[in-house]
Amino acid sequence: EKKRACHMDADVLVVGCGVVGAATTYYCAKNNMKVICVEQFYTPIHHRGGSNGTARCWRTAYADPFYSKLMSRALVLWKEIEADSGQTLLSSSGGIEFGPPSCQAIQATQDNAETTCTTMSGADVSHKWPLFSNMSTFKALHFTDYGTVQADKSLLTFIKLAQKNYGAQFKWGFTVKQWGGTKGDRWVISHTGQRLTAKHIIFCTGPSPITLPLLLQPTSSSSSEPVPVSELQGHSVETVNYLLCKPSNPENDSASSDNADRAEISSAFPSFAEYPEGASFFCSFYGLPEQHEGEWLLKVGDSITNKVRTFGVLEDYVKHRFGGKLVPVGWHSCRILVTPDEHLVLRGLGGECDDVLVALGTTHGFKHAPALAEWAACVVQGNCAPAQPGMVEGAPFGFTPPPSWEMPNPRL
């Protein structure tokens, strides 16, 4: 066993260098493991994945209490990363969540919040932030501890810390075409034939249509053909659209200079999420302030739960929700992996492949990335037990949380 380990390239191979992959590489390396992260593209900053862009929103309250607790841990880790790197990655602008008063997601979010919130009427929201329109039928929750995380900057920070502080290696332009081996003796082969070996593989491939099919298909020969992404147990790769908007004429929005100031977009403008009638977890539209070339814009996005998702739908929503007071000035898209239940994923492949992990941020994972990555690093070190009896086989969280978290098992 010792002789074989000496000839391995790494203790852990991380496949995919989006934010979850970069963070997983960082935490594995920080825990004294030799780590190699491989990425199919030649740069971590590109527009063909789910981690690119200027900003993502973060929030502390969820309809599912487990995600509220997961975010509490993630915030601790985000602040540690800021301290270790000397970089400011998070900002707090507050946030609002709103929807019909009978909306289950709004009530559950209020019940499960780890921090206090203020209940507001839709009219209160429009008065406090005059950009919002047509809000009279809504109930809203205002949280002061919501904010944004700088996406590209955070991704590069994880890579820099992992590489310079803990000796992790990154291989760019390495597309995994095959993987296989036996338990504790794994390998991957690239599109150019390069072979890497390690004790563990952690797939953080997100929206990649090339490597995702390999997750269910370990191979020992070169004859294996990947299956289409659409056939992988309901997994799919989706494109999420965003409109970048600015106030059309904020100085004339109100006779009050105070209201005119609040009608502008700035770092203090709240992120928001709107829930439709009947929603139990996911919102239908959301937005956050984002700075582009010194100018503050509002980035408004659609949800994968919307059956029709086009820029036309987004434009109609912006026109209605902001009463013509915002005009689109740009657009942005990203590709994300969507699991059947739309949850984050951390599980082993099972059986003789339980040393091969899948750690995916999916639809809402950027803000949770440090916690998910720390969890994955603890799993490969053997510090997290398999899922307790009663947990569904193949569930998104196949392991108990790290003991240091002092939080209950995921509610599945």
> DSSP letter string over 19-33?
HHHHHHHHHHHHTT-
pLDDT at 363: 67
pLDDT at 307: 57
| Cα 1 to Cα 6, 18, 50, 151, 197, distances in angstroms | 9, 32, 38, 41, 14
The rounded average pLDDT for each run of 10 residues, N- to C-terminus, in the chain (412 residues) is 65 94 97 96 79 84 85 94 96 93 91 86 96 96 93 95 97 91 91 95 76 52 37 61 84 45 78 89 88 90 69 91 93 75 77 82 83 94 73 61 74 48
pLDDT at 230: 38
38 bridge partner residues: 15, 171
Gap between the Cα atoms of 157 and 265, Å rounded: 27
pTM given for the model: 0.88
Gap between the Cα atoms of 164 and 319, Å rounded: 47
pLDDT at 76: 94
Asked if 281 contacts 99 with a C-beta cutoff of 8 angstroms, the reply is no
Gap between the Cα atoms of 307 and 70, Å rounded: 29
Residue 399, sorted as left (phi over 0), alpha (psi -120 to 50) or beta, turns out to be beta
pLDDT at 212: 61
Residue matched to tokens 């984050």: 344
pLDDT at 251: 52
Going by C-alpha positions, the residue among 410, 400, 357 that lies closest to residue 380 is 357
Q: Which token pair is 133?
A: 């329109």
Residue matched to tokens 């029709």: 308
| φ and ψ of 164, to 5 deg | -85, -35
Q: Which token pair is 123?
A: 């009219």
Measured over the CA atoms of residue 350, residue 408, residue 140 and residue 137, the dihedral's sign is: positive
| Cα 82 to Cα 95, 155, 256, 259, 373, distances in angstroms | 22, 12, 39, 34, 16
**Exposed/middle/buried for 214, CB within 10 Å: 0-12, 13-18, 19+?**
buried
| φ and ψ of 41, to 5 deg | -90, 165
pLDDT at 248: 86
